[in-house]
């Protein structure tokens, strides 16, 4: 059984980079879901495919009645996509302060990063209220554990192998993609660009903190920061749309031969370090 959110929200930023519409839905969810954590498995957990895991959900009691209604297992792809694996459990279990649900990691699970997503439903006057989606930290799954001749043990995959356990994904930077601008899009200076980012409902990213414009410098040089388009701390749920008037600073005029891209700086719910997600490259031509 797989659950999905039906409600999408949008944050609109005007071309002058002033917030014009707050995401009231995201703010309401934050209020309803505060005090919920899923501390286990934690970032130190390592499981061999086929072994047992236990998911623990904690809450700080408040005036709202909360019920655990579902538990899903997800993996993180090499490209940073959240991938649904299976529904572990669904039902109705009243959550007072703590609940624990056991699970067996699939025997055929490939090595990589995984995490659990818990569905907690709020009750309002006995009716189904807003759902809270909380996740564990990503944890590592390996395909086997071997005993060496000297009696020591080692996993089939080295736990520091970034090909299986990408450090950015490990800290929660996945499940968000900048859909617009499209690759090769050409803007005329002064034109308005729509920056559209979509986030999976099981992503561990948090709030939008900054939007930056970069100029591609090539393989041997670090890309150049051209301008800071917006700064703040804005909550959003699944979709964010940003409108920027493409006007470059006088100190860094348009280079029609160069490629540019936007970088969205987003907080992580599982790390003190921020995440950065880049748009596709686009061109800017001078206004005539």
pLDDT per position as a tens digit, 120-178: 999 877 777 789 999 999 999 999 999 888 888 899 999 999 999 999 999 999 999 99
Identify whether the C-beta of residue 147 lies closer than 8 Å to the C-beta of residue 153.
Answer: yes
pTM (two decimals): 0.86
Identify whether the C-beta of residue 262 lies closer than 8 Å to the C-beta of residue 282.
Answer: no
Residue 18: predicted pLDDT: 32
Residue 23: predicted pLDDT: 58
> Distance between CA atoms of 117 and 66, rounded to whole angstroms?
16
Cα dist. 13→153, 238, 265, 271 in Å?
A: 54, 16, 15, 26
- Residues 83, 86, 88, 92, CA torsion sign: positive
Structural domains in the chain, CATH included, are 34-170 (2.60.40.2300), 176-285 (2.60.40.10)
**Residues of the chain whose pLDDT is less than 70?**
1-23
Tokens encoding 125: 């006057």
For residue 258, how many C-alpha atoms fall within 13 Å in the half-sphere facing its CB? 16
Residue 133: predicted pLDDT: 93
Cα dist. 25→30, 63, 121 in Å?
A: 9, 20, 16
């Amino acid at each position: 059984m797989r659950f999905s959110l039906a409600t999408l929200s949008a944050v609109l930023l005007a071309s002058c980079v002033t917030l014009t519409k707050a995401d009231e839905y995201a703010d309401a969810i934050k209020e309803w879901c505060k005090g919920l954590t899923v501390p286990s498995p934690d970032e130190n957990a390592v499981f061999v495919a086929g072994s047992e895991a236990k998911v623990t959900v904690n809450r700080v009691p408040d005036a709202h009645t909360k019920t655990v209604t579902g538990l899903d297992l997800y993996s993180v792809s090499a490209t940073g996509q959240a991938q649904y694996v299976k529904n572990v459990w669904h039902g109705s279990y009243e959550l007072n302060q703590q609940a624990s649900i056991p699970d067996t990691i699939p025997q055929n699970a490939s090595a990589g990063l995984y995490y659990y997503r818990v569905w907690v439903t709020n009750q309002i006057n006995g009716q189904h209220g807003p759902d809270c989606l909380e996740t564990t930290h990503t944890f590592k799954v390996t395909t086997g554990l071997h005993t060496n001749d000297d009696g020591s043990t080692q996993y089939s995959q080295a736990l520091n192998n970034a090909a299986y356990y990408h450090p950015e994904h490990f800290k929660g930077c996945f499940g968000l993609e900048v859909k617009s601008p499209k690759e090769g899009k050409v803007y005329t200076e002064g034109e308005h660009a729509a920056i559209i980012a979509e986030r999976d409902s099981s992503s561990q990213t948090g709030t939008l903190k900054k939007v930056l414009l970069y100029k591609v410098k090539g393989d041997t040089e670090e890309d150049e920061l051209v301008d800071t388009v917006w700064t703040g701390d804005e909550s959003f749920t699944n979709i964010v749309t940003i409108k920027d008037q493409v006007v470059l600073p006088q100190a860094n005029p348009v280079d029609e031969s160069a490629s540019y891209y936007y970088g969205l700086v987003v907080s992580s719910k599982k790390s003190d370090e921020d995440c950065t997600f880049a748009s596709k490259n686009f061109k800017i031509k001078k206004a005539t």
